[in-house]
Amino acid sequence: MNAPLGALDRPNSYIGRSVSRPNAKRLLAGRGRYVTDLALPRMLHAAFLRSPYVHARIVSIDTEAARAMPGVRLVATGADLAALCTPWTGTLDHFKGMKSAPQHPLPLDEVTWSGQAVVAVVAESRAEAEDALGAIEIAFEDLPAVADLDAALRPDADRAANGAEDNLCFRARLDTGDVEDRFAAAAHVVEEEFRFGRHTAVTLEPRAILADWDASEGKLTVHHATQTPYQFQDLYSRHYGIPEANVRVIAPDIGGSFGMKLHVYHEDMAVIGLSMLCARPVKFVADRLESFVSDIHARDHRVRARMAVDASGEILAMDVDDATAIGAFSTYPRTSAVEGNQVIRLMGAPYRFRSYRAELSVVFQNKVQTSQYRAVGHPIACAVTERLVDMAAERLGLDPAEIRARNLIPDDAYPCDSPTGYKFEALSHQESLARLKALMDYDGLRAEQATLRARGVHRGIGIASFVEISNPSPAFYGIGGARISAQDGAVVSVTPSGEVRCAISVTEQGQGTETIVGQIVADQLGVPRERVRVTTGDTETTPHGGATWACRGAGIGGETALQAARRLRSNILSLAGTILQAKPADLDLRDGIVVEASSGSERIALSELARIAYFRSDTLPPDTSAQLTVAHHYAPQGYPFAFTNGIQGCHVELDAETGFVTILKHWVVEDCGRIINPLLVDEQIRGGVVQGLGAAFFEECRYDEDGQLTNGSLADYLVPMACEMPDIVVGHIETPTADTVLGAKGCGEAGTAASSAAALNAVNDAMRPFGASIAQLPMTPTRILAALGQF
Amino acid sequence: MTAPVAITLTVNGERLTRLAEPRETLADFLRRDLGLTGTHLGCEMGVCGACLVMLDGTPVHSCLSFAVQADGSAVETIEGLTESAAVTDLQQAFHERNALQCGFCTPGMLVTAQGLLARKASPSREEIRDALSGNYCRCTGYEAIVDAIETVARRRAASREELPA
Ligand code: FES
Ligand code: FES
């Protein structure tokens, strides 16, 4: 018997309940174990000499003096590592025509961005390794650098990487065919050119890896701060030619990831080879300066877009050109084209219009690689769409909320699809808009705005509707030939003491994966949550799975746990039936005790049942099969993605003298399907919103025109601080997906997807009385003043 | 490189003497030499607050101080503050409010919070946000942290009132 999910009126009903995270206590006590904290016997430390050149040929490398420095055990160049590690290429088969040059752990003859690691030193301490870097001589021959996006696309442009036929990594087009007609017939056309700066994840714990090659067993153990241990097990195995079963990747506590720690980094790949060459454990922790020049960056788009509307305010069509610059290579194994692909496919997604055309150019240049970071593509598509919607509203004299009410897909129109081919199962845009208006007292704020404007106080209100991709099926990567799993696996057992263990392939970076999996298992089995122990993040002790990315933890991992727990429960009740000589269907498991389902009277405790199964099987009938461990896999079926939706509101005050913007408050209404733990969902949303506000106002990797990063330190790169961030009000609508029993969809990227768009609209709303507008993120005070014509 | 020098200090209530290289930061000394890895490093330039420890009762950036400068001082790290129960109420409030995700910023946040509440018993939300300006958190968006500190300030104030004057 399974009670309806989310009903909170029975014992062990944990799905839908705000409970705190058991594993957070360790972190609060300073007992977290991050890769940065680990030390192994005979461990060595790696440091990398980095290129000061943006683009150069490596003429010669002299490592002799460095090898003689105190404590140095190895100095390795690209050639040394290339002898061990096969090269990789960051393309996916389903991106037709995509190209990218093969990459090695360290370059063989060419550096393609400033900060690229060139030579590795391994020493007894990090300080000794760094000391030895100074003794390495590299002769570089400067090559022309490609920094600017438009310059890169010119036919006569210098190449970002030698030997490339051009600087175009990938091009895609979408066209419903009728766009020109729609624009020709439109009452109004609004258009804008948008710029989205580069920013980066700045996880508070930088990238860290500790590789331990055991030559005696031919076994590689890697302690790796990553979201995706299985993906790296596969990659280390294949590129270093080690049987997969001999590669163990452990992802312990991780100090933030946000998509940044699931890509292959050259230094990380090198560390594996360095450990093999030294036959000792080798550790590398990127320091913050290294993070800025080697972690993936995100965004970097120039989007030209226009929108056609009729006289009644109905959106007719969109026409979009997105050019995005990604560095000299596409990242591996997920590529640097997924973001652009999602940008052009997510444009206009909340709205009813059917005519759409888009062109995407993914361009090479001599900077750090860009790739997937929280909310991949969403913030760009959302900001462009939502700003155009506001511009259309202004042109028509409509309120921004009103034009959305007229154009958002009606809540009873599902299932339906987008003009770009996305399929929507069931969304709640209209209800979300209504809820947001109530939550933020939209009309009241508008009235207040008018009053304050009269007094010279310039407040702005911005709203932004969004969809978010979650629960990706193999349509995401598997289809493109990448060995990145869309399924997850769980092993759930009853221990001899009647406790429950669940080892699952989704991973934890603090979002609460282990907690929600524990809630689901306890809920579905009928045991107290305290008796369920969840383990994650170790390829040797958990089954293979996709792990955590693209908001799949709750939706896919959660469903895996649910199905596994249901199977285990049925095994428990069947064994109890044998022991009690009762029909399993007449029994139930409640609070760790097998009871008579109808009366609730207690029959046998789970601990007693486990004792019998494990220690006194002799007392059971001869044909009894006591299966108190269940291994179960689940892959998403049905819709290729479970879309979520929502809407955000942002309230700002602009100081027109200084260009300074104060964010007064922010609201989110979000529909992520079944909510397993409201406390955790709200904090995912808030954290996501703040990352989006960072992109909107502060965060930017600034380059000079030659391609040198000019603000690569935490003192110069602005991360949102507590004093600048608003309180964030979160409301929910629950439209569960019918593709799973659990009905959960993702929520980790929703905050980031639309907060920068809402902020962009809010700032533009505040600037309206000045007849000014801005279309570039981040909206720094300087840019705002420039938009206001102040200088 | 100069030779290591002997320093004597009290760490989490225990007096100890160790050799430290003059260039070794207090953070590295605590983490590497003493195994107190609850003190974290996020920037090594005094910006992010992950490395905050109590030095003679005041929050300091252990990434900016050298171990030799702590000679003769009393240092408390998150491990010591936990064992002495000095921050138990803060830890509990952070836990209840889910005021941490990855937890990397958390020890520094707790040190700042403890320092703030020692200076000012009932700070406003703005004052809490200001006090946290040297503590970066990339995961939470800060609001839950502000809530948790506010709750503790209120609870501490209430328990003070309950005490007879
Ligand atoms: S590590 Fe000391 S302030 Fe960041
Ligand atoms: S909880 Fe991750 S940085 Fe604060």
**pTM of structure:** 0.96
Distance of CA B132 to the CA centre of its chain: 12
pLDDT band at B164 (very low <50, low <70, confident <90, very high): low
Q: Which of B25, B28, B31, B41 to mutate to test the pocket of ligand 1 (most atoms within 8 A of CB)?
A: B41
Domain count along chain A: 3
Report pLDDT for A7. 74
**Prediction ipTM score:** 0.97
Sheet containing strand B58-61, strands side by side: B14-20, B5-11, B74-76, B52-55, B58-61
- The predicted model gives A355-361 an average pLDDT of 98
CATH architecture of B5-77: Roll (3.10)
pLDDT digits (tens, 9 = 90+) for B51-106: 999 999 999 999 999 999 999 999 999 999 999 999 999 999 999 999 999 999 99
- The predicted model gives A752-773 an average pLDDT of 97
Instruction: Give me the helices (H) in A176-265, please.
Output: 179-185, 229-240
pLDDT band at A609 (very low <50, low <70, confident <90, very high): very high
Token pair of B135 as six digits? 């503590």
* A126: contact with B, CB 8 A cutoff: no
Together in a domain, A661 and A734: yes
- The predicted model gives A667-688 an average pLDDT of 95
- Residue A348, min C-alpha distance to chain B (Å): 28
Together in a domain, A626 and A496: yes
- The predicted model gives A336-345 an average pLDDT of 96
DSSP A342: H
pLDDT at A2 over 60: no
pLDDT at B165 over 60: no
pLDDT at B6 over 90: yes
Report pLDDT for B161. 82
Q: Which residues of A touch B1 (CB under 8 A)?
A: 131
Pair A747, A554: CB distance under 8 Å = yes
- Ranges in chain B annotated CATH 3.10.20.30: 5-77
Tell me, using a 6 A CB cutoff, whether residue B100 lines ligand 2: yes
Domain end point (choices A634, A663, A680): A634
Domain end point (choices A595, A616, A634): A634
- The predicted model gives A151-164 an average pLDDT of 91
Q: Is residue A665 part of a domain?
A: yes
Tell me, using a 6 A CB cutoff, whether residue B141 lines ligand 2: no
Q: Which of residues 658-697 of A touch B (CB under 8 A)?
A: 679-680, 683, 686-691
Assign domain B85-162 to its CATH superfamily. Answer: [2Fe-2S]-binding domain (1.10.150.120)
Together in a domain, A551 and A610: yes
Q: Is residue A304 part of a domain?
A: no
Among A333, A462, A332, A328, CA closest to A399? A462
Report which of residues A748 and B30 the model is more confident about: B30
Token pair of A465 as six digits? 């509707």
Dist CA A79 CA A81 (whole Å): 5
- Which CATH number do you get for residue A444? 3.30.365.10
Tell me, using a 6 A CB cutoff, whether residue A24 lines ligand 2: no
Q: Which of residues 110-149 of B touch A (CB under 8 A)?
A: 110, 125-126, 128-130, 132-133, 135-146
pLDDT at A764 over 60: yes
pLDDT at A212 over 80: yes
Report pLDDT for A1. 42
| SS3 state of residue A347 | coil
Pair A432, A410: CB distance under 8 Å = no
Query: Of all protein residues, whose CA lies closest to atom 4 belonging to ligand 2?
Result: B137
Together in a domain, A79 and A61: yes
Report pLDDT for A613. 97
pLDDT at A791 over 70: no
Which residue from B minimizes the CA distance to A225? B102
Token pair of A717 as six digits? 């790169």
Instruction: Find the domain containing A452 and state its range.
Output: 373-473+641-787
Q: Is residue A713 part of a domain?
A: yes
Average pLDDT score, chain A: 95
Q: Give A668's strand partners.
A: A648, A730
pLDDT digits (tens, 9 = 90+) for A474-497: 877 888 888 988 899 999 999 999
Which-ligand-closest: CA of B40? 1
Pair A522, A15: CB distance under 8 Å = no
Pair A661, A652: CB distance under 8 Å = yes
Q: Which residues of B touch A131 (CB under 8 A)?
A: 1
Domain end point (choices A294, A328, A346): A294
